Amino acid sequence: MKKSLLTLIMALVMALACATSAFAEDLGYVNVERVFRSYPDIQTTMSVINLERQKAENEFNEKAPKLDDKGRRELGEKLSAQVDKKEASLLNPIREKIRKTIGQVAKAHGIANVVDASAVVFGGKDLTEEVIAAVAQGK
């Protein structure tokens, strides 16, 4: 009885090891932050966003002294929403392009599962450099 239980446990451990290695071969990871920083013209885009933030801050500093607490809060919320909208309009297309490129690179390698590099402790295939190259080529 003890011997058959030990054999069963060993078989389960081996099956789990095989399943884990099969999943690891099907797992890719990408350092998305690095891809984002490497995106063509990202510095220009970030400069535009920072300029919008600075304009909003200047407008707030100019108008806030004339307003009560409620008015300052409303102005701050309005200006923040405007900056957020501008930021989203500039960054969302970039994020979408990166997401699509990651999918294309993964598909080319037969990889079905891709996660951010920060989530990977061990295993998987690093696709970061290939994604950076594909984004740079405009694929």
pLDDT band at residue 24, thresholds of 50, 70 and 90? Answer: very low
pLDDT band at residue 16, thresholds of 50, 70 and 90? Answer: low
Domain locations in the chain as residue ranges:
2-137
Residue 129 identity (one-letter amino acid): E
**In contact, 38 and 132? CB cutoff 8 Å:** yes
**CATH 3.40.190.100 describes domain 2-137:** no
What is the CA 134 to chain-centroid distance, rounded?
A: 16
C-alpha span between 46 and 31 (Å, rounded): 19
C-alpha span between 93 and 90 (Å, rounded): 7
- pLDDT at res. 2: 52
The average confidence (pLDDT) of the chain is 85
Residues comprising the chain, all counted: 139
pLDDT band at residue 22, thresholds of 50, 70 and 90? Answer: very low
